[in-house]
Structure 1
Amino acid sequence: MSTTTPGRHLRTATGTALTALSAFVVCLAALAPGLVASGSALALLRIPLEAVLAVVLLVLLPWRWTRRALAALVALLIVAATLAAALDRVFQSTVGKPFDIATGWPELVDGYGVVQDSAGAVGALALLILFVVAVVAAVVAVSAALLRLARILTPRRRPALLAASAVTAGWLVVALIGVQMVPGEPVAAADVGAAAASRADQVVVAVGARAALARQAASDPAARIPDADLLTGLKGKDVVIAFIESYGRVAVQGSTFSPGVDAVLRSGTARLAAHGYQERSAFLTSPTFGGISWLAHSTLQSGLWIDSQASYDQVTSGSRFTLASAFRKAGWRTVSDVPSDSRPWPVGSSFYHYESQLNGTNVGYRGPRFSYARIPDQYTWAYFQQHELAGPHRPVMAEIDFVSSHTPWTPLPSLVPWNAIGDGSVYDPQPAAGLPPSVVWQDPHHVQQLYGESIQYSLNSMFSFLTTVDDPDLVVVVLGDHQPAAVVSGAGADHDVPISIIAKDPAVIDRVSSWSWQPGMLPAPDAPVWRMDAFRDRFLSAFGTRK
């Protein structure tokens, strides 16, 4: 007797501990979506209705296989709801909006591409494998915990159901009264159900948005402007639409790094004036935040509000009239330059109708990468001038997407003499002078500082180019695509980005006098603000034939 009692006690204690652990795992899992969504540990001090109902159903089911199937399904739903909450937080902190289950999957793929560029293909794959293993382990753990509770409670079905009824009644009471631990944290929790309802709403909204966008795209008076009346105010000019990555309002006002950027803009204004340029500046409200730059590019060019990948795919699969199409119809040679791309871009031909597409593979660059940015902005300007603007040529219209100010903002290039650029190998020593992203991103203040420096570099590259080339027939529309991520912009930042039009010909500036944009490169806080989708029609009107 004395030899068996300790073993029996140990087994009993172990079983009790495992049962308690199972109950803890089930409750924690059911509360996890709310915990992740709020980021507050107080989310754990709630009553998880889904956990109670799941255990009750498992106790009532008579067949073992149905219990296993239900446990696996419940575990999968709980983990999926937690992942959805995590994606919401990640998307909110990077692109300023929650993850949309109806439209956000392509953005996840693009996000993985950014991770590959920052951590390398092997590092990104390792992270993906770890993530998949963790998800599978979580589903197995929750399922096993549910099955153990069901196995323990089934022989005690009556008291178990009475206890569950009492807990459910208590949940209903506190839910009806609206009891909260703190504001925004109700004691009655139904996180999994709420997550499912929210995702269903997203699907309904996405269907309605798709229909509305189709109607807007089909109604397009600009597409009916006669070719002879298009862009006559820019006849003979080379026109560049220059997107500076992550160049947002936060870069020019209200931040610790904006004084440095403002100084560059003021200095640039003076340098341009000394070479006969004039500028007008304002703000545009971008449809995106923190990333997904092509939404801004397509919004500016199409005159449609394109704020999701689904909207982008819908519009670019159609025939909406773009600024690039307008320039091409009016006789310009149209060019796109996307230095961050390394693959073919069918949309450039099928939707924008560019005659020439430049990217990171066909501009002769033999220099180093700067993290995500494949090619320094200065090299991009130099190649464009040498191969598109030099010598006799048809007027050129180009959209160039400058990427040196793309996250993670380290390492950064620095300017070199224009006559030393060559194939870019002159930049070889520069990346080693910067810290790796894994070091910089441990300190948000350091990230913000380097973001500001990246914007200064991009702007200085442009100012140096304009004063070096000194082309009387060059017109540049320079703007940001979106604000930087929340780690730089801060919580609740708007979607505004600076925009400037730069030209030597006073007639070009006169054409936009009715816009009331401000002189110089630095828009004041009270400068005009347009939605980005308003730009196309106002631009075509300002520079079209006046009647």
Structure 2
Amino acid sequence: MSPFTRSRPQPDPAASGTEPDDDGTGPAPGRIPAPAPSPAPGEDAPREEGSGGAADSGAAGDGRRPGWLGRRHPRAARWTSLAITVLAGVLVLFALLVPNRIERLEFASFVRIPAEGVLLAGLLLALPPRPRRITAVVTGVLLGLLTVLKFLDMGFYQVLARPFDLVLDWILLDDATDFLRESFGRTGQVLAVTAVLVLFVALLVLTTLAVVRLTNLMVRHRQTAGRTVLVLGTAWMTCMTLGLQIGTVPIATKGNADFVGNRVEQVRAGLRDARVFRQQAAVDAFAETPPDRLLTGLRGKDVLFTFIESYGRVAIDDPAMAAQTGAVLEEGTAGLKSAGFASRSGWLRSPVTGAGSWLAHSTFLSGLWIKNQQRYRSLTTSDRMTLTKYFGRTGAWRTVGIVPGVRRAWPEGKFFGLDHIYDSEHLGYHGPYFSWTPVPDQFSMEAFQRLEHGKKDREPIMAEIILASSHNPWSPVAHMIDWEDLGDGSVFHRIKKEGTDPKEVWKDPEKVRAEYRKAIAYSIRSLTEWMRRYGDEDTVLVFLGDHQPVPTVLAGDTGRDVPISIVAKDSKVLDRVADWGWTDGLKPAKNAPRWGMDRFRDRFMTAYGPQP
């Protein structure tokens, strides 16, 4: 080493601002420390604490070239960036806290502490740059999907009083679009479907962008974000431990975790249910009964099984409807009695509420609990004997279906064993639709008389009849006219013009309930007046509701009961069900027997089978 080198003073590491290396040595004496390396591609560049969102708006101060707004209006750029960040936070908080039922949308629901949000923020702060970005994007997409699912739940609770089933309910979305077209026209259907699709895509995109933006903000303010997560986590645990609430809403929530957990269990239950249903469907008490010993108590009778859409217990028990519906039932009972008929009534519990009529119909006819679309498909592709099939097996009845609500191919109709099916195109109706309803009930009953019941020298008939005038949305509603004036149905054009506008009715729940009550009254009158006009000693009528109406009408009622009545002139017919304990007349007593709808088939066939 040269004398010149030895005479140079040694640098002080502390004075130079450098730290010793991991092995305890500092930089070589007299050597200037190398500049910090540039970040590798895909890594976050270091930022000074306190650098804000100007980069996002194009304002100067972050090392990026400012955009047009940042160059011309830097203050506006900062405020715009701040506004976008606030909106991103609001959207993420909304997605985390929004409930899946409309009645739970209240202020308290959006001032809670979501456990999932706190944990997610902590995770994003802890992850390295590349995994953090991937996690932020995936989280945003999943949060958007979760929000869409909650919106689906809101719709299903409003119509079916249950959440959307991820396994079984996709087919119902197609039915929903058909309902929109038939209720509000093709334009209304297109607008509604377009709006839903736009909302779906917008939610996925916006929640993803919002999560990414908030993640970048947390990283730029890592220390502040870390302290905030710690405070919120402590607050969540404290509120959860003490059970603190705002009204009835807990401040600390893990609602999304519970929501996802319930859906996972729902999927598992749906998969298990298929196996359970196959076992149940294999059991049939009448499978080995000879045809000549089936339904012997009804031989020679015309038997009509008639479903009245949405005719639920609420129409009889609700104080706002009880008086009017009760008067219609008393009027029907008295009118039938004057014509020589007697009646008995009870309650059945339907597997569905609000909609899903085909599930109720198949439950009633098959003797199996058809609570979802998976069971319905399994049933209609099996060889299970229904009540209608058993009538056909005897060879003593011609079996027909009057199904005005069917407007396209219905392959499942063959499963029910009907010799002939009359849909909306084959009843001879040339009048207008009444919202969803293709054919008014009075015309449907008159068509049945003209096409089948009124024929001379015919064999006994077993008919399945579905009356659709009481189907949601109940506006406009037809009204009774002279039977001689029905003609080809053209008269109903004038009657429809006199009715209400569904778009106006559905703005007010009380108007909806009033129209529902009128629709039920019309359906009951159509049926009882037909019975008085055309029924005879050999006519047996069984009519019932298929399910309760939508929650808008139920007004908090969670029951699934529907009324059922048997009407006959031959006293021997009603004597066979005397031990059922049903109420005299068309209005069942509040304490009348209540059975599951799936139990009716076997009870009916037992009552009208060979007697000891």
TM over 0.5: yes
Q: Provide TM-score, normalisation by structure 2.
A: 0.84
Residue aligning to 2:92:
26
1:194 aligns with 2:268: no
Structure 1 segment 3-402 matched on structure 2, within 5 A: 7-33=73-99, 38-62=104-128, 69-183=134-248, 185-331=249-395, 332-349=397-414, 351-389=415-453, 390-402=455-467
Task: Give, in angstroms, the shift of residue 90 of structure 1.
Answer: 2.6
Query: Does structure 2 conserve the Cα–Cα contact (< 8 Å) formed by 1:55 and 1:146?
Result: no
- CA change 1:35–1:532 in 2 (3 A) is closer
Return the match for 1:458 from 498, 508, 523.
523
Q: What residue identity is the alignment partner of 2:215?
A: A
1:414 aligns with 2:488: no
- Maintained 8 Å contact 2:477/2:500: no
Q: How many residues align?
A: 542
1:443 aligns with 2:490: no
**Structure 2: 5+ residue stretches without partners:** 1-69
Q: 2:159–2:354: 8 Å Cα contact kept in structure 1?
A: yes
- Structure-1 separation of matches of 2:400 and 2:222: 73
- Residue 456 of structure 1 aligns with an amino acid whose one-letter code is A
Look up the SS of the partner of 1:128 in the other structure.
helix
Letter matched to residue 423 of structure 1: D
| Residues 304 and 542, structure 2, Cα contact 8 Å, conserved in 1 | yes
Compare 140-149 and 238-247 and name the one that shifted more.
Answer: 140-149
- Deviations along 1:366-395, one digit per CA (max 9) or x if unpaired, are 111111110011111111111111211121
What's the secondary structure of 2:237's corresponding residue?
helix
Whether contact under 8 Å (2:332, 2:586) holds in the other structure is yes
Give the alignment's TM-score, normalised by structure 1. 0.93
The answer as to whether partners of 1:342 and 1:360 remain within 8 angstroms in 2 is yes
* Aligned-partner Cα distance in 1 for 2:331–2:221: 80
Q: What RMSD over aligned residues (CA atoms) do the two structures have, in Å?
A: 2.2
1:518 paired with 2:572, answer no
Please say which of residues 426-435 and 104-113 is displaced more in the overlay: 104-113
Deviations 1:200-224 (A, max 9, x none): 0101221222222211111112222
Please give the alpha-carbon distance, in whole angstroms, between the structure 2 residues aligned to 1:152 and 1:82. Answer: 23
Cα distance in structure 2, aligned partners of 1:493 and 1:143: 38
Residue 544 of structure 1 pairs with residue 598 of structure 2: no
CA distance in 2, matches of 1:427, 1:28: 48
The amino acid across from 2:501 in the alignment is: P
Please say if residues 67 and 147 of structure 1, whose CA atoms lie closer than 8 Å, have aligned partners that are also in contact.
Answer: no
Query: Quick check: 2:101–2:153 contact (8 Å CA) kept in 1?
Result: no
Name 2:38's counterpart in structure 1: none
1:314-338 Cα shifts (integer Å, max 9, x gaps):
2222121110010000121111121
Instruction: State the Cα deviation string for residues 156-191 of structure 1 (Å, max 9, x = none).
Output: 4354334324433433343344333333x2222333
- Return 461-470 or 160-169, whichever deviates more: 160-169
Name the SS for the 1:422 alignment partner. coil
Q: 2:420, 2:283 → 1: CA distance? A: 29
Q: Is the 8 A contact 2:140 2:212 kept in 1?
A: no
1:403 matched to 2:468: yes
Question: Cα distance, 1:95 vs. partner?
Answer: 1.8
Give the Cα separation in 1 of the matches to 2:252 and 2:608. Answer: 60
Conservation of the 8 A alpha-carbon contact between 1:258 and 1:452: no
Q: Give yes or no for contact 1:233–1:508 (8 Å, CA) kept in 2.
A: yes
Cα offsets for 1:233-252 (capped at 9, x unmatched):
11011111010111111222
Aligned residues of 2:359 and 2:373 also touching (Cα < 8 A): yes
Q: Distance in 2 between matches of 1:210 and 1:5?
A: 65
State the identity %.
38
User: Per the alignment, do residues 303 and 27 of structure 1 end up closer, same or farther by CA in structure 2, a change over 3 Å counting?
Assistant: same
Change (3 A) 1:356 1:35: closer
Q: Distance in 2 between matches of 1:517 and 1:32?
A: 46
Q: Which has the higher contact order (CA 8 A, sep 6+)?
A: 1
Q: Is the 8 Å Cα contact of residues 474 and 519 (structure 2) preserved in structure 1?
A: yes
Query: CA offset at residue 353 of structure 1?
Result: 1.4
- Residue 60 of structure 1 deviates from its aligned partner by 4.7
Q: 1:267 to 1:152 in 2, by over 3 A?
A: closer
Q: Secondary structure at the match of 1:401?
A: strand
Partner amino acid for 1:46? R
Query: CA separation in 1, counterparts of 2:477 and 2:529?
Result: 17
Tell me the SS of whatever aligns to 2:98. Answer: helix
Give the 3-state SS of the residue equivalent to 1:80 in structure 2.
helix
